[in-house]
Amino acid sequence: MSLPAKNPSRETDGELLAAIRDGDRRALEELYLSYHRRLARFLSRFTPRYENVEEIVNDTFMVVWQNAKDFRSASQVSTWIFGIAYRTALKSLRRQKNHSAARSLDECPEQTFDPVLEDEVKDWLKQGLDQLPLEQRMTLELAYHMGHSLEEIARITDAPVGTVKARMYHAREKLRHYLPALGGTGL
C-alpha cells in the first residue's frame, strides 16, 4: 500500500465529508488519517490493546462512510465523528467482560494509603479512574484528556447538559472517595 501523498491544499473536514457522501474513498482515507491520532489517543485511555482501539476506530469510520449523508452541517464534523466513536466505544468496551470500569466502586475496597510521590499519585489516580462507571469515566476523559467543553461533550454523548454535569460530578465524587489524598492539603 502506498501512503497517501500530502495534499498541500488540504480540504476542510466539511468538504471531505461532502466528498465522502458522493462515494470518494480518497476523501475518507484523508479524513481517517487526520482523525486517527486523536481517536486512538482517546480510546487508548480505556483499553491497552491496539486491536481494540483499531476495531473501534475502523467501526467508527465505517459508520462515517455509510452515514455521511446524515451529517447536519449545523454541528462540527469533529463532534459528529467523536460522537460515533463514543457510542461505538461504549458498546465495544461493555462487551469486554473483564473491563474494570464496569465494576461498581462499592465492590472495591477503600484505599487508605496516602501517596506522597507524584508518580504514586498518578498510579492511584489511574486505578481510581479504572473503577468509575464507563460513562462517567468517558465524560471525565473527554473533558480532561481531550479538553472538550461541557456543550461539546453533551453533543458527543448525545446527552443533556445536565446529565453531563451530573456524570462528571459523580465521577469526581467517587474519585475523591477512592483517592482521599487528592482532597488533602498535601498535594
Partner 1 sequence: MSAPSNHPEHRQVAELIPWYVNGTIGQPEREKVEAHVLTCEVCREDVQTERRVYESVASAPGVEYMPAASLKRLQSALDGIGAPAAQAPAPPGREVRSARWSMPWKGLAAASVAVTAVFVAFAAAGRWSMFPVRDLPPNYHTVTNAAVRPPGEVIRAVFSPTIKLADLQVLLGEAQLRIVSGPTEAGVYSLASTSSRAVSQSLGMLRSHPEVRFAESVDTDTRESP
Residue from the set 15, 67, 94, 116 that interacts with partner 1 by CB under 8 A: 67
Count Cα neighbours of 41 within 13 Å in the Cβ-side half-sphere.
Answer: 11
Distance CA 174, CA 143 (A): 17
Q: Shortest approach of partner 1 to residue 72 CB, angstroms?
A: 14
Of the ranges 74-82, 98-106, 108-116, 146-154, which one interacts with partner 1 (CB under 8 A)?
146-154
User: Is residue 24 a contact partner of residue 65, using CB atoms and an 8 Å limit?
Assistant: no
User: Is residue 65 a contact partner of residue 29, using CB atoms and an 8 Å limit?
Assistant: no
Which residues touch 16 (CB under 8 Å, ≥6 apart)? Answer: 27, 28, 30, 31, 77
Site for partner 1 in 1-20 (CB under 8 A): 1-3, 6, 20
Distance CA 33, CA 178 (A): 38
Q: One-letter amino acid identity for 87?
A: R
- Long-range contacts (CB closer than 8 Å, 24 or more residues apart) made by 145-153: 145/41, 145/42, 145/45, 146/38, 146/41, 146/42, 148/82, 152/79
Q: Shortest approach of partner 1 to residue 116 CB, angstroms?
A: 14
* Comparison of 148 and 155: residue with beta carbon closer to partner 1: 148
Site for partner 1 in 83-122 (CB under 8 A): 84, 87-88, 91, 121-122
Q: Shortest approach of partner 1 to residue 128 CB, angstroms?
A: 9
Per CB under 8 A, 70 contacts partner 1: yes
Contact positions vs partner 1 (CB under 8 A): 1-3, 6, 20-23, 25, 28-29, 32-33, 36-37, 40-41, 44-45, 50, 53-55, 57-59, 61-63, 65-70, 84, 87-88, 91, 121-122, 125, 129, 140-141, 143-145, 147-150, 152, 165-166, 168-169, 172-173, 175-176, 182-183, 187
